[in-house]
């Protein structure tokens, strides 16, 4: 569950960065009151933490039973 949440937040962050790069439009800032608004900063922080969590996914042994608890 946590992996899926982290991946979802990382995708949101990637799409936001893509919109900034392509169009100069910060969707998160727009939706939550500007880049420096408290809610925007919370979202940015959660996306950053999700990105850190996703780094761990790169190094996780996908063959271990912990990676697939429903198969154990």
Contacting residues for 72 by C-beta, under 8 A, at least 6 apart: 65
**Does residue 27 lie in a domain region?**
yes
Asked if residues 51 and 14 have their Cβ atoms less than 8 Å apart, the reply is: no
pLDDT digits (tens, 9 = 90+) for 11-37: 999 999 999 999 999 999 999 999 999
Rounded to two decimals, the pTM is 0.76
**Does residue 31 lie in a domain region?**
yes
**Does residue 71 lie in a domain region?**
no
| Per-residue pLDDT at 44 | 95
**Does residue 6 lie in a domain region?**
yes
Domain count along the chain: 1
Domain that holds residue 20: 2-60
**Other beta carbons less than 10 A from residue 43's beta carbon:** 19
Q: Is the pLDDT of residue 67 over 60?
A: no
**Does residue 16 lie in a domain region?**
yes
Q: What is the CA radius of gyration of the chain?
A: 15
**Does residue 70 lie in a domain region?**
no
Transcribe 55-70 into DSSP letters.
HHHHHS-TTSGGG-GG
Q: Is the pLDDT of residue 66 over 80?
A: no
| Per-residue pLDDT at 62 | 72
The average pLDDT across 49-72 equals 77
**Does residue 11 lie in a domain region?**
yes
**Does residue 34 lie in a domain region?**
yes
């Amino acid at each position: 569950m946590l992996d899926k949440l982290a991946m979802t937040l990382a995708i949101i962050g990637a799409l936001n960065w893509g919109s900034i790069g392509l169009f100069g439009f910060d969707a998160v800032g727009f939706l939550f009151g500007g880049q420096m608004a408290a809610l925007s900063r919370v979202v940015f922080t959660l996306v950053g933490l999700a990105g850190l969590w996703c780094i761990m996914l790169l190094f996780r042994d996908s063959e271990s039973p912990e990676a697939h608890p429903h198969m154990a």
